[in-house]
Amino acid sequence: MTGLKDKVVLVTGAASGIGRACADAFAAEGCRVMLSDIQDDLGTDAVESIAATGAEAVYQHHDVTSEQDWASVVRDVEQRWGALHVLVNNAGIAWAGSILDMTLEDWRRQTAVNLDGVFLGTRAAIPLINASGGGSIVNLSSVAGLQGSATLSGYCATKGGVRLFTKAVALECAANGWPIRVNSVHPGIIATPIWNSIIPDALMAGANTLEPSELAAEAVPGGAVGSPTNIADGVVFLASDQASYMNGAELVIDAGITA
Ligand SMILES: NC(=O)c1ccc[n+]([C@@H]2O[C@H](COP(=O)([O-])OP(=O)(O)OC[C@H]3O[C@@H](n4cnc5c(N)ncnc54)[C@H](O)[C@@H]3O)[C@@H](O)[C@H]2O)c1
């Protein structure tokens, strides 16, 4: 038993890729799921497909860089379900290219989504998770939050930031007696649309394409690309009772890239 049945879960960036797989997986555990994103058509599609399974899910437009949007989403979750138990800070973007080509605007946009969004979400969710009797926050970092990658300096900075932010908040929750575990997940190369936004300059050493399966064939031990469900499985585990002794930890799901 995961202990997740009937829990209330908020997943950001849930219209696509890993976030959508997380929403599906929590719904399959019997959770009530709020999916948020800025891609409203895809978000609505995701909710319809979850509803078709008999599970309870709602979509809300939500830009994670907006303090006002966070207040509104958390208020909506509270009014609708009276509680929040799990927050998955998943929304993210990847800007790639030479540091010499990165404008301050590029840097700030990357940081706003990947780092400000995680900060705003964590701060907004803690009081409601506390008032709900406790729960868990799972933050999507990356293998790029564990090791550097040429032409991904801005992305690496945000994902490394998410890693240590996670540990610091986990310690603060424990020190205050707040019953909230906070952990990070570090995916390797996962087949999602995020790769479409990465420009050719971002090619990793030795790779000649950004098709994730071809990139994985060159960069992953064993050569297999990951699927969004590989990551969702880890996220659900971290939120479950089975991970009750995990806090401030980093769950690496990369088929050995960082090994
Ligand atoms: N795919 C990979 O190989 C990989 C590897 C490591 C880490 N990650 C991380 O996993 C997370 C999910 O990425 P994905 O691969 O599923 O990509 P994706 O592009 O499929 O999904 C990301 C989602 O975030 C949403 N989003 C972007 N900006 C937003 C904003 N301002 N407010 C709200 N939503 C916003 C997008 O609309 C999209 O639906 C990201 O944090 C990413 O950095 C992905």
Span 59-93, pLDDT tens digits: 999 999 999 999 999 999 999 999 999 999 999 99
Q: Is the pLDDT of residue 204 over 70?
A: no
Q: Is the pLDDT of residue 14 over 90?
A: yes
Count other C-beta atoms under 10 Å from residue 222's C-beta. Answer: 8
Check if the beta carbon of residue 221 is closer than 8 Å to that of residue 176. no
CA of 128 to the centre of ligand 1 (A): 25
Check if the beta carbon of residue 232 is closer than 8 Å to that of residue 25. yes
- Which pLDDT does position 209 carry in this prediction? 56
Work out the pLDDT band at 1, boundaries 50, 70, 90.
confident
Q: So which residues are the catalytic ones? A: 155
With CA atoms as reference, report the closest residue to 94 among 46, 44, 141, 45: 141
- Which pLDDT does position 196 carry in this prediction? 80
Q: Tens digit of pLDDT for each residue in 157-186?
A: 999 999 999 999 999 999 999 999 999 999
Atom nearest to 196 CA in ligand 1: 19
CA of 111 to the centre of ligand 1 (A): 13
CA of 13 to the centre of ligand 1 (A): 6
Work out the pLDDT band at 216, boundaries 50, 70, 90.
very high
DSSP 142-194: -GGGTS--TT-HHHHHHHHHHHHHHHHHHHHHHHHT--EEEEEEEE-SB-SGG
Cα–Cα distance between 86 and 48 in angstroms, integer?
21
Residues 202-231 have a mean pLDDT of 82
Atom nearest to 91 CA in ligand 1: 24
Residues 137-142 have a mean pLDDT of 99
User: What's the whole-number average pLDDT of the chain?
Assistant: 95
Check if the beta carbon of residue 86 is closer than 8 Å to that of residue 26. yes
Work out the pLDDT band at 4, boundaries 50, 70, 90.
very high
Cα–Cα distance between 44 and 176 in angstroms, integer?
38
Q: Kindly list the protein residues whose Cβ atom lies closer than 6 A to any atom of ligand 1.
A: 12-13, 15-19, 37-39, 62-65, 90-94, 113, 140, 142, 187, 189-190, 192-194
Superfamily designation of domain 8-249: NAD(P)-binding Rossmann-like Domain (3.40.50.720)
- Which pLDDT does position 164 carry in this prediction? 98
Check if the beta carbon of residue 220 is closer than 8 Å to that of residue 255. yes
Atom nearest to 190 CA in ligand 1: 3
- Which pLDDT does position 199 carry in this prediction? 56
- Ligand 1: residue of 37, 111, 149, 152 to mutate (most ligand atoms within 8 A of CB) is 37
Nearest CA residue ID for atom 43, ligand 1: 92
Reduced DSSP (H G I as helix, E B as strand, rest coil) percent helix, strand, coil of the chain, to 5: 50, 15, 35
pTM above 0.85, yes or no: yes
- Which pLDDT does position 208 carry in this prediction? 53
Nearest CA residue ID for atom 42, ligand 1: 92
CA of 194 to the centre of ligand 1 (A): 6
